[in-house]
Amino acid sequence: QKEVEQDPGPLSVPEGAIVSLNCTYSNSAFQYFMWYRQYSRKGPELLMYTYSSGNKEDGRFTAQVDKSSKYISLFIRDSQPSDSATYLCAMSPRGNNRLAFGKGNQVVVIP
Amino acid sequence: GAVVSQHPSRVICKSGTSVKIECRSLDFQATTMFWYRQFPKQSLMLMATSNEGSKATYEQGVEKDKFLINHASLTLSTLTVTSAHPEDSSFYICSASPQTSGGARAQFFGPGTRLTVL
């Protein structure tokens, strides 16, 4: 079993819809959870950074962490064509900078 | 803040030559830098972890003599692909973690370097 599971998609949604992405993981030591956005031929860009369980909101983005279920989510409200990218979840245990990544989920927002 | 640059952004070289890629943290000091490789439509594959002033830690299966890493300062790490071959063609991305105390830190990524070996 991989440490981090993420459905690679692709996921196509109409402009204005809510995009829902998620990852599951197996390592209960993970405490820091991140979502990155990667455009084609570019480096990943940090979108959200959360610690332990709970919700975090930043503009149109909401990250949720449920440690009891080992499940994290990213929601994008009012999706825009510029949100079309690959979204990677990543996580690490406390005291360790090394990240475990999901495979990435390709999102296409159709105008 | 938290900007990481990489140079060059693209390089094409002949088989057998060596290529050096630079990774710089522009507005923060990075105790640790990471080097990744990414194939098309795949996730990031960690190659090595680089700590300032010490030897890099390579992942299993990554040849340390082929991929030389130097982390000379808190803002600069370099990856040298020695005697490059066509199978080394890939997208190489570095990341850096800010020097802060406690816990784990997010990694900030550079824009990547596209290497093509002819």
- Angstroms from B30 CA to nearest CA on chain A: 11
pLDDT of residue A17: 97
Name which residue leads in pLDDT, B37 or A8. B37
CA B18 – CA A71 distance, rounded (Å): 43
**Residue in A43, A92, A102 closest to B93 by CB:** A43
CA B44 – CA B36 distance, rounded (Å): 6
Peptide bond into A10 cis (omega under 30): yes
pLDDT in tens, B91-104: 999 999 887 655 45
CA B107 – CA A83 distance, rounded (Å): 21
Mean pLDDT of the residues in chain B: 91
Q: Is A37 in CB contact (< 8 Å) with chain B? A: no
CA A58 – CA A8 distance, rounded (Å): 24
Instruction: Taking residues A71-98, report their average pLDDT.
Output: 93
Instruction: Taking residues B34-41, report their average pLDDT.
Output: 91
Q: Is A30 in CB contact (< 8 Å) with chain B? A: no
- Angstroms from B114 CA to nearest CA on chain A: 8
- CB contact under 8 Å between B112 and A41, yes or no, is yes
Q: Which residues contact A93 (CB under 8 A, 6 or more apart)?
A: A27, A29, A30, A31, A32, B104
Nearest residue to A45 via CA among B108, B10, B38, B7: B108
pLDDT for A67 beyond 80:
yes
Mean pLDDT of the residues in chain A: 93
Residues of A in contact with B44 (CB under 8 A): 44, 88, 101
Give the residue on A whose Cα is nearest the Cα of B34: A98
